[in-house]
Amino acid sequence: MMLAIARKEFIHILRDRGTFLLVTIGPLFLMVIFTYTLTTDVKEAPLAVIDLAHNDASTALIDRLDASPKIHVERHLASADETDNLFKRGEVVAAVVIPADYGQVSLTRVPQVEAIIDGTEPISAETVLTEVYQIADAHSRELAGDALQSDLFEPPIYTTQERLYNDALSSKVDFYPGLMGMMLGLPAIALSLSLARERENGTLEQLMATPIAKRALLLGKLWPYLGFGMVDVYALLALGQWVYDVPFTGNLLAYSLIAFLFMFASLGMGLVVSVIARTQQVAVVIAILVFFIPPFFMSGTFFPVDAMPQLVQLEMMSLPATHFVTAGKAIYLQGTALRELWLQVVLLTVISVEMLEVSTFIFRKKVVGGFRRPAPPVLTTKENALS
């Protein structure tokens, strides 16, 4: 029985162009766009320089700033007055003022540059800030060291850096496994539409007239989307591996399991949405609000969950995407073994079962369409008054 429904739904997906695109090309297409546009890696951010010194030291500093891949010197200004205007026009994101006595080092005084940063875009501003600061700091230390022939200006403690999993700290590598959680929400959106569509088209009544059990009906609807979703998983993994240089280091089987559980859980949520929503439009709106936007912000993809208020963290725990991003990312980038991720496996399983139960519980196999319910009397009288 369930298989019959699944087969019907599968054929439906194949024949409905919109749904078919949504569950096949959709995730890949979005992923391509997202990876190109959502990177926060700052490249060649425009910088204004106000060089009041005009000596070898200041020229050397400007060259060094320009040489950094993160920033580039866009404008040379005579005075700092103009910087406000440039900031407002968005032509530069930072201005560096080199004082007139730059490079004239003594034991008691090391002239330093002053940097002004436009904080409107905090993420890139922070990168630019760090870069400018480090370059200026290192340069002035060198200048002082050379001029006074002393190592007094070296930092008191050196640090060596070692970066695991993602040597360049590239945001793309960080985001890719998280973005998969978003992309794999698309089949769930398609599923929420599907049931609402049956209701709207009146074919749900036909299904109700069959002796099929509620749970079998809902599960039968779910399986085909799960199948397409799993195909998406491997397609996205291939895309990451060979097109975007995000190497998959973990165990493919473990990843498949996590992905399967996640898909099941979010499709279960999709069922709940479609049972609640009476029309397809409503289903779309709710599905976008539930599947797409929160994972974008909340699943640790763009803002780490650790830094969020407890209340929000708690709420995040109820979203399957959060657990998928945590576990999937660990397997994907860090090669973490599945037994370390037992908590996520358990939680995803719990959400899956819970969603299936909830949707079965609230899904009534009776013909109570939204259309047949009589309008409340208040509305009717107002209606008359208006016309």
Partner 1 sequence: MIGHIITIAWKELLHLRKDRFLIPVFVIGGILELSLIAWATGQPIDNIPMAVVDLDQSPQSEALIDALDASDTLTHKQTVSSVDKVYDLMQRNDAVLGVVIPEGYGAAVTAGERPSVRLISNGAEAVQATEAERTAQDIIFRQGMRDAYHMEPADYESELPKVTVKYNEDLKRGWYTLPAESGFIFYIFTVILASLAISRERERGTYEQLLVMPYRSIEVILGKALAPMLVGTSLFLAMMGLTVFAFGVPFRGSFILLLVIALLYLMAEMNKGVLMSIGSRTQLQAMLLVFVLAIVDMIFSGYAVAVDTMPPAIRTLSNFVPIRHWLIIVRGVMLKDVGLSVLWPHVAAILAIGVVYATITASQYRRHTD
Q: What one-character-per-residue DSSP string does 7-27 give?
A: HHHHHHHHH-HHHHHHHTHHH
**CA torsion angle 341 316 122 332 (round to 10):** 20
For partner 1, what does the binding mask look like between residues 339 and 368, x meaning CB under 8 A?
-x----------------------------
Scanning residues 7 to 26, which ones bind partner 1 (CB under 8 A)? 18, 22
Among residues 78, 81, 162, 366, the one that binds partner 1 under rule CB under 8 A: 162
Query: Does 150 participate in binding partner 1 (rule CB under 8 A)?
Result: no
Among residues 15, 79, 149, 159, the one that binds partner 1 under rule CB under 8 A: 159
Among residues 10, 165, 248, 260, the one that binds partner 1 under rule CB under 8 A: 165
Q: Closest separation between CB of residue 334 and partner 1, Å?
A: 5
Q: b/e string for 254-281 if b means 16 or more Cβ within 10 A?
A: bbebbbbbbbbbbbbbbbbbbbbbbebe
Contact 321, 262 (CB under 8 A): yes
3-state secondary structure 301-340: CCCCHHHCCHHHHHHHHCCHHHHHHHHHHHHHHHCCCHHH
Scanning residues 262 to 281, which ones bind partner 1 (CB under 8 A)? 277-281
Residue type, 275: V
Query: Does 154 participate in binding partner 1 (rule CB under 8 A)?
Result: yes
Scanning residues 31 to 90, which ones bind partner 1 (CB under 8 A)? 33-34, 36-43, 45-46, 85, 87-90
Specify the residue, 209 or 371, whose C-beta has the smaller distance to partner 1: 371
Among residues 11, 107, 285, 353, the one that binds partner 1 under rule CB under 8 A: 285
Query: Does 333 participate in binding partner 1 (rule CB under 8 A)?
Result: yes
Query: Does 166 participate in binding partner 1 (rule CB under 8 A)?
Result: yes
Specify the residue, 167 or 253, whose C-beta has the smaller distance to partner 1: 167
Among residues 157, 368, 378, 385, the one that binds partner 1 under rule CB under 8 A: 157
User: Closest Cα to residue 215, out of 46, 20, 2, 31?
Assistant: 2
Query: Does 118 participate in binding partner 1 (rule CB under 8 A)?
Result: yes
Q: Which helix (H) or strand (E) holds 190?
A: helix 186-201
Query: Does 173 participate in binding partner 1 (rule CB under 8 A)?
Result: yes
Scanning residues 227 to 246, which ones bind partner 1 (CB under 8 A)? none
Residue range at the interface with partner 1 (CB under 8 A); choices 2-10, 216-224, 259-267, 326-334: 326-334
Q: Is 237 exposed, middle or buried (0-12, 13-18, 19+ CB in 10 A)?
A: buried
